[in-house]
Structure 1
Amino acid sequence: MNPADAGRLPLWRAAFVVARRDFTAILFSRAFIFFLLGPLFPVVVIALAGGVGAQVQSEAPVADIGIAMEGEQVDAMIAARNELANQLGGGVPPMVEIARLQPGEAYDARAVLENAEGSLAAVVTGTMEAPQLTATEGRVQRWSGIVGMIAGNAAEPGARSYPPVSTMTVVTSGASEISGRIKTAQGGQVLLFLLIMLLASMVLSNLVEEKGNKIIEVLAAAIPMDAVFVGKLFAMLAITVVGIAVWGSTGAAILYAGGVSLSDYANPGVGWPMFFALFAIYFGMGYLLLGSIFLAVGSLASTVREVQTLSMPATMFQIIVFFLASLSVTDRGGWIEYTAMAFPLSSPFAMVSRAAIEETLWPHLLALAWQAMWVAIFVRAGSSMFRRRVMKSGPQGAGKARPVAKLLAGMFRNSSAPTA
């Protein structure tokens, strides 16, 4: 053992002592009340995210109308649709062949639509003279006239009268499910971003305050500086968990009182219980990644003004990273999605959206292992910078602080013992 470290607490025990000290000091302070009020003021970030959200919705998969008719009527309906789209431009949904029926063959459009996946939003059956549209209530109202025009032109090109369209409604469809999951993915990303950005910056003010009153130097005399870094980081994570628990329970109570439940929203790909679990884990990963950066940045500053100056580039870069992850929602399987999943700071956001849309779980295991590796790298690099910048550590500087090490180590040992 290094003689210089004699009398010091082990790294993880010392980190626990620092974490417990910071946690209790913040939790029982008046400032914590204002911290809990923080989510009332993220209007600017929501406005910024709205632009990306609009683009995501505009690039979301287009809803298709499936055609299930006899023989050549399928080709005639698709050709009439394409001709109408050329004349009217946008607003005419695509039509795709899903079945060519034999004369007299029955087709259960309701069952097909309710069990469909992907972009299938409606099914047209019957004949060109008597078409039937099966879709959700909203799409039935929006598309009945278009289907009648297509059927009339398919039966008689240039027709001025169109056959009546009978309708059948279903509760949901593959396209409705995808649209709902995309909204869940967007909401999850925005919430994750707001929580991480709002909460990770807490470590900056806490560090600057303790640098100003020399508490950091006192702590460093008794325990390793790496333990101070890790302890502060995980103390802030614990505080955020308390805050999220308060916000989450309050929000759930308000929604429940208003008659809103999770059944009113599209079920995420992995299901609500697993989605909440993955959201919590990805929040922890994202917080530790950004928190370690902010804590290292804080070690470079000695005043609040310097903190604001130094943290601004990191904050703006994280906003750009968030927008990259938001664009990955519409690029499933593309290079944007894979880039967002691979880049450490955007990976939690990209994987939250994937949990909302996709059903497979094994990519999350790989992503969590990848993120955990980067958390370890960021914490190690951040603690190294923290140690060098806060204490300007070296043999000479360390030796000056050594006389009080044994006394402070004893104090921390006593504080770590359970109280009656």
Structure 2
Amino acid sequence: MSNSVSNTPINDARLSMWQAAWVIARRDFLAILFSRAFFFFLLGPLFPILVGGLAGGIGGQVQREATVNTIALAMSQEDNNAMMAARLAVQERLPGLPIMREAEDTSKAPADILAEPGAAYAGVVSGTLDAPILTGTPGQIAAWEGAVAMMAAFAKGEAPTDFPDVAAEPVAGSAATDRSERIKTAQAGQLLLFLLMMLLAGMVLSNLVEEKANKIIEILAAAIPMDSVFLGKLIAMLGVSFVGIAVWGFFGGLIIFFGGEALPQLPEPAMGWPVFLLLGVVYFAFGYLLLGSLFLTIGGMATTVREVQTLSMPVTMMQLLVFFLAAFAMTDPGSLLELVAVVFPLSSPFAMLARAAQSPEVWPHLVAIVWQAFCVLLFVKAGATLFRRRVMKSGPAARRKGKEKRLGGIFGAASGKAGAPQSS
């Protein structure tokens, strides 16, 4: 019986790589999701959005209040009525005309009318229809001089007030126009992808530092492969990131729902919005996993939070350069620079998302997704191997050193016994 037990492989009782990764992912995901720190982390980006929205609304209201487009009329009663009637007749055709109101006291000088307390006039028109005089600041005179002259011409009947109907023949747009417009969508997609990755990938950094300090990582490494530990932690952090994006997206949807008309409208991408958004989620996932694997390796190498911040700075700067590379490469599709941005793992998600906005081809995205998945596994394997050899002191080199140390101890003990004098 003892022989049968001793011949049973110990690894048969261990989980497979993916099963172990799932156990780690579920453990970390639930631990982070139901922590108070994650709740405050979710609230963090909402405060700048709320403050920015309030500031934008207040600033827009202030700008509207500050924009003065009302002109006071201080001519004769007949000329004033003719000017206001002319503006009323053409306001539908010329919506950019200033508002014209008769001054309360036309006997005052134009400068005194402008200086009246509570007056909000861009200028004052005096004189006659044949020789109108516009009083105001140089900027207001330059802005409204042409409109006043045109209204005076309409009021005298020297300009037409009956406009012919214009037949419209709209076109969908030229290829150059479509490409120029879709670049805006590509830029917005890249910027959003970059901000989300940099905001959420930072959670990976301190993960291993805490578990190393608590000796938890040693227990995990003894129970399951280190590759599964790294992969499981990345999957857990990705799941937590999707929860954060869902919460922020909900509030962003409310902002779009209530103030969508005031927000800038992005042109539709070449692949359509549903496919573009789906690819955006996929490329965020792979970009996060690629960057997170580097951050996880850095967190495993560091022993303190200060070391984490020091070691992560080069990676952060490199990611910023990668973003600039992908942003510059999308201006020249099909070039060697864009090919480099597509192939390089860290810039590939940004470059391919920009291509989804500009080109309707599907097969390049399938190839890019397979390539990015392979790079994720490669980065995880390299990071786990480095962590195992440099931190856990295991692996072929460490085992060889341990074996040599044990053999040295054995031979040393044997030589000590051989050289010891025998007692009589």
Would you say same fold, with TM above 0.5?
yes
The structure with more radius of gyration = 2
1:27 aligns with 2:28: no
Q: Which amino acid aligns with 1:353?
A: A
Separation in structure 1 between the aligned mates of residue 401 and residue 41 of structure 2, nearest angstrom? 37
Once the two structures are superposed, what CA deviation does each residue of 1:182-205 show, in whole Å capped at 9, x if it has no partner?
A: 111000001111111111221111
For residues 222-266 of structure 1, what are the alpha-carbon distances to aligned partners after superposition, in whole Å with 9 as ceiling and x for unaligned? 222222111111110111111111111221121012244999431
CA distance in 2 between partners of 1:256 and 1:41 (Å): 19
Instruction: Indicate yes or no: 2:217 matched with 1:211.
Output: no
Closer, same or farther: CA 315–398 of 1 in aligned 2, 3 Å? farther
Alignment partners' CA distance in 1, 2:402 and 2:277: 46
Aligned to 1:235: 236
Query: Does the 8 A contact of 1:229 with 1:386 survive in 2?
Result: no
Cα distance in structure 1, aligned partners of 2:314 and 2:349: 20
- Once the two structures are TM-superposed, the CA of residue 287 in structure 1 deviates from its matched residue by 0.9
> Which residue of structure 1 aligns with residue 333 of structure 2?
332
Among the aligned pairs, what percent are the same residue? Answer: 61
Tell me which residue corresponds to 1:155: none
| Secondary structure of 2:333 counterpart | coil
Offset, 1:31? 0.8
Give the letter aligned to residue 17 of structure 2: L
1:200 and 1:232 mapped to 2: Cα distance? 12
| Partner residue in 2 for 1:380 | 381
Instruction: Output the TM-score relative to the length of structure 2.
Output: 0.60
Q: Could you say if the C-alpha distance between residues 254 and 398 of structure 1 is closer, same or farther in structure 2, counting changes exceeding 3 Å?
A: farther
* TM-score, structure 1 as length reference: 0.61
Secondary structure in 2 matching 1:170: coil
Q: Could you list the runs of 5+ residues in structure 1 that have no partner in the other structure?
A: 44-165, 400-420
- Aligned residue for 1:202? 203
Aligned to 2:269, the other structure's residue is in SS state: coil
Q: Cα–Cα, structure 1 residues 277 and 2, in superposed 2: closer, same or farther, change >3 Å?
A: farther
- Which aligned segments of 4 or more residues in structure 1 are displaced greater than 6 angstroms? 396-399
1:252-288: CA deviations, max 9, x gaps?
A: 1210122449994311010000001111111111111
- Decide whether the 8 Å contact of 1:18 with 1:231 is kept in 2: yes
C-alpha separation in 1, matches of 2:225 and 2:306: 28
CA contact (8 A) 1:282 1:352 kept: yes
Deviation at 1:37, TM superposition (A): 3.2
Question: Aligned partners of 1:38 and 1:363: how far apart in 2?
Answer: 37
Greater relative CO (CA pairs within 8 A, separation 6+): 1
| Counterpart-to-counterpart distance in 2, 1:24 and 1:261 | 39
In structure 2, how many angstroms separate the alpha carbons of the residues matched to 1:309 and 1:2? 47
Q: Which moved more, 1:369-378 or 1:312-321?
A: 369-378
Name the stretch that deviates more: 298-307 or 386-395.
386-395
Residues 1:12 and 2:13 are matched in the alignment: no
Q: Secondary structure at the match of 1:269?
A: coil
Decide whether the 8 Å contact of 2:207 with 2:299 is kept in 1. Answer: no
Give 2:323's aligned residue: 322
Query: Which secondary structure does the structure 1 equivalent of 2:267 belong to?
Result: coil
Asked whether the 8 Å contact 1:295–1:386 carries over to 2, the reply is: no
Aligned with 1:186: secondary structure?
helix
Question: 2:269 is aligned with what amino acid?
Answer: P
1:170 aligns with 2:176: no
Q: Unmatched 5+ residue regions in structure 2?
A: 1-6, 50-165, 404-424
Q: In structure 2, how many angstroms separate the alpha carbons of the residues matched to 1:229 and 1:398?
A: 25
Deviation sequence 1:339-374 (CA, Å, 0-9, x none): 111111101100000101111111111211221221
Whole-Å separation in 1 of the counterparts to 2:42 and 2:304: 25
Alignment of 1:130-279 (within 5 A): 170=170, 173-174=173-174, 175-260=176-261, 264-279=265-280
Give the secondary structure class of the aligned counterpart of 1:366: helix
Question: What is the CA distance between 1:167 and its match in structure 2?
Answer: 9.2
Q: Is the 8 A contact 1:270 1:359 kept in 2?
A: yes
Q: Kindly provide the amino acid, as one letter, of the partner of residue 363 in structure 1.
A: P
Q: Which moved more, 1:364-373 or 1:283-292?
A: 364-373
The amino acid of 2:299's aligned partner reads G
Structure 1 Cα separation of the partners of residues 321 and 350 of structure 2: 12
